[in-house]
Amino acid sequence: PVAEAGLYSQTDQVVVLSSDGIDFQLFNSSNAWLVEFYASWCGHCQRFAPVWKALASDISEWKPAISLAAIDCADNKNRISCAHFEVNRYPTLKFFQAYSESGSKGEVLQDTSSSAPKLRQLIIDLLESHVEAWPPACPPLEPASAAELSDFFKTSSEQYLALVFEEASSYVGREVTMDLLQYEKIAVRRVLRSEEALVSKLGVAHFPSCYLHFPNGTFSRLSVHVEARSFYIYSLRMLPGVERGGYKPIMSLASERNTTADEWRQFDRSRVYMADLESSLYYSLRVEVGTHSTISGEPLSALKAYITVLVKYFPGRPVVMKLLHSLESWLKSHDDPELQYTALEMVLDNEVQTPDAALPDAWRWVSCQGSQPQFRGYPCSLWTLFHLLTVQAAHSTHTPVPDPLEVLQAMLGYIQHFFSCRECAAHFKSMAAETMSRVDSLPRSVLWLWSRHNIVNVRLAGAPSEDPKFPKVLWPPPDLCPQCHGELKGEHFWKMDRILEFLEDYFSPDRILQDYLE
């Protein structure tokens, strides 16, 4: 039922519908649907598409209760379906309640001129309009009463009940309730200011504000930098024990660690570790490049460009830098159009005997450790390495001043020709094709990679590759960089100058920790 054409693609959180599967998807479904019927040639639809995509990614966690979709009525194969749904102007938004009967035409919504936050509130209203069959995955959205709360832990096995105290007109409590619906060990309810007994018992003076209620009957205020949705979501998801559902039963961290060959290494989540960076060099040069017995043409140029940016910008230990220099000179002197990996391996092993030069001979993940062996590790370290290289290039004293695209192109070349996750490589290549050429300064290259990585984070949140102990978040999260975030009229925004300052500091060589190196 999924097609890729028109204004949306499979990498958006919008479900792309086509005639083949639309009835199957929309009717008798356990979640509600909000569908945009559009024509790809219509200017208003083109202007609306970014809003629809932003909204779908903003509320991607709400999917078990409501999904956003789109169907291109300008595509000939969808023509008859669009006519069945009686759509004759574009774009038209139609709401289908959960368990809508076959043949239902859906409820037309008039407003396609709204912003994503306004539409998000409209979606809450639509969910609340369910009278008969409430979507089973949708938590209760009505305000909680003091009486109900006092009995909450008698029937619930949650570890936390988060209470968002707010005015009746506010949507924050309901939005956060939806944002946490896929998380276990926590429930969220809104409490209105008019619930005076509870408000005065807790001394609530700020609306909205969020309190945690615990099974032992106590309460404590959730400490956040700004009293706003994005800050609540992040803090609540990070509470100890709270995890995204849908994974196998939660085991204690200790028993999970035993499944990995190594001892768990304690680390500081707010720092970069040289052990991860060196491990990414080991893994890329020995494992990934090592699967190519001969290297020639574009892959050979990509390998050379990768080594060049490492030599120029990697702030490695002297012994590692010496090896990288020797590798670079060897590659430069290598004129054959074809290179055998066995020859390259001799340089990696330092059989050319450059004094005091070596690469690590194994990988050792520290801040890239996963709770299970299949999680994190190498891809985590590769992102970290390239972020670091963009920041170092921006600070380099090299003359001439580096080309803003130098590191990004080297990364793209490496990913395209050697990164063993081929699907990742295809995604990254298409992101690069869309916007990378617009990068026209070194700070913008740092920010470009940061923002593309966040697009990947959003897309992968909840995917099977996500480590439940390290959920994908928009990064840096508010506890790492409170000053990077803002919220205006319900819409989260990034403060770009602060982000840049933060990245420069976070990836600066003096802050890289040297623990766990051999």
Residue closer to ligand FAD by CB (options 269, 438) is: 269
Residue closer to ligand FAD by CB (options 53, 376) is: 376
* CA dist., res. 164 & res. 79, Å (int): 45
Nearest to 453 by CA among 508, 393, 507: 507
Percent of the chain as helix, strand, coil, to the nearest 5: 45, 15, 45
45 is catalytic: yes
Minimum CB–partner distance for residue 118 and ligand FAD (Å): 27
DSSP letters, 187-212, are EEEEEETT-HHHHHHHT--SSSEEEE
Direct distance between the N- and C-terminal alpha carbons of the chain, in angstroms, rounded to an integer: 52
Interface with ligand FAD (CB under 6 A), residue from 336, 423, 440, 510: 423
Minimum CB–partner distance for residue 11 and ligand FAD (Å): 8
Residue closer to ligand FAD by CB (options 177, 284) is: 284
Q: Is 384 in the site for ligand FAD (CB under 6 A)?
A: yes
Q: Is 237 in the site for ligand FAD (CB under 6 A)?
A: no
Give me the catalytic one of 45, 138, 481, 484: 45
Q: Is 372 in the site for ligand FAD (CB under 6 A)?
A: no
345 Cα distance to chain centroid = 36
Q: Is 283 in the site for ligand FAD (CB under 6 A)?
A: no
Q: Is 118 in the site for ligand FAD (CB under 6 A)?
A: no
Q: Is 469 in the site for ligand FAD (CB under 6 A)?
A: no
* CA dist., res. 312 & res. 325, Å (int): 9
Interface with ligand FAD (CB under 6 A), residue from 194, 463, 489, 514: 463
Minimum CB–partner distance for residue 275 and ligand FAD (Å): 14
Cβ-contact 190, 207 below 8 angstroms: no
Q: Which residues of 6-25 are buried (b: 16+ CB within 10 A; e: fewer)?
A: bbbeeebbbbbbbbeebbeb
Residue closer to ligand FAD by CB (options 112, 371) is: 371
**Cis status of the peptide bond prior to 360, with omega within 30 of 0:** no
Q: Is 444 in the site for ligand FAD (CB under 6 A)?
A: no
Find the part of the chain contacting ligand FAD (CB under 6 A) among 147-155, 193-201, 392-400, 423-431: 423-431
* CA dist., res. 371 & res. 414, Å (int): 27
138 is catalytic: no
Interface with ligand FAD (CB under 6 A), residue from 475, 494, 502, 516: 475
Cβ-contact 7, 61 below 8 angstroms: no
Q: Is 453 in the site for ligand FAD (CB under 6 A)?
A: yes
Interface with ligand FAD (CB under 6 A), residue from 32, 382, 391, 442: 382
* CA dist., res. 39 & res. 351, Å (int): 63
Interface with ligand FAD (CB under 6 A), residue from 202, 456, 458, 517: 456
Cβ-contact 337, 296 below 8 angstroms: yes
Q: Is 376 in the site for ligand FAD (CB under 6 A)?
A: yes
Minimum CB–partner distance for residue 6 and ligand FAD (Å): 22
* CA dist., res. 185 & res. 162, Å (int): 11
* CA dist., res. 24 & res. 281, Å (int): 48
Q: Is 416 in the site for ligand FAD (CB under 6 A)?
A: no
Q: Is 504 in the site for ligand FAD (CB under 6 A)?
A: no
Q: Is 387 in the site for ligand FAD (CB under 6 A)?
A: yes
Helix axes 406-417, 378-394, angle to 10 degrees: 160
Q: Is 360 in the site for ligand FAD (CB under 6 A)?
A: no
DSSP state of 129: T
* CA dist., res. 464 & res. 454, Å (int): 18
Q: Is 508 in the site for ligand FAD (CB under 6 A)?
A: no
Interface with ligand FAD (CB under 6 A), residue from 308, 329, 416, 454: 454
Residues annotated as catalytic (active site), given as ranges: 42, 45
Contact residues: ligand FAD, CB under 6 A = 368, 376, 379-380, 382-384, 387, 415, 421, 423-424, 427-428, 450, 453-454, 456-457, 460, 463, 465, 467, 470, 475
